[in-house]
Amino acid sequence: MDIDLEPARGITGFPLGMAAEDLKTAAAALGRVKVKDEGLAGRFAYMKVTALHEQFEIVFHLEDGRTLTAAEVWAPRPGPERITVRLGGTDVFAVPARQLLDELRAAGHTVVDRTQHAYVTDLPLGLTRTAGHDVPLDTDGQPLHFQAALVASPGYYDFLLPAAE
């Protein structure tokens, strides 16, 4: 199975703006579905739909309580199925995290690196190295590879950019 990250558009099979009911139906094809805060839209709590596959999870954020606003894919676990999560032609969970950030910078993207979390503000793409289990570590003591990737709509990470004077 291939999952393509398409910042500002969504992920394979789940375009940003997708209606909640359509999203839940499509997510059920991936595995068990867990819905939290159905229809809730708030600054600190909002609707989330999680697709639980035996080898990965995807958390769908519906910040307005009605439509997909961001999709967060967690690194696949070993198992019977070959699962690749790509950004362009790059497997985001196979390339070392620091190398991926260097490649994104070299391609002209704006990267805000906060050690455990990195944000590519112009795509918009969020990446995390935080792991809840044992994973190989890099020389900086952080997980060698990213553990999750979130794609969202344009402007999602603008709050991280310096204010214009």
Cα–Cα distance measured from residue 38 to residue 10, given in angstroms and rounded to the nearest whole number: 21
Cα–Cα distance measured from residue 71 to residue 78, given in angstroms and rounded to the nearest whole number: 22
pLDDT for res 162: 77
| Span 41-53, pLDDT tens digits | 988 899 999 999 9
pLDDT for res 72: 98
pLDDT for res 161: 79
Cβ neighbour number for residue 130 with a 10 Å cutoff: 12
pLDDT for res 131: 85
Which 8-state DSSP code applies to residue 71? E
CA distances from 134 to 78, 81, 143 (A): 13, 21, 9
CA distances from 57 to 42, 54, 73, 103 (A): 23, 8, 6, 26
The stretches in the chain having pLDDT less than 50 are: 164-165
| 102, containing H or E segment | helix 97-106
The residue behind tokens 């291939």 is 2
pLDDT for res 57: 96
pLDDT for res 165: 44
User: Structure tokens of 75?
Assistant: 């690194």
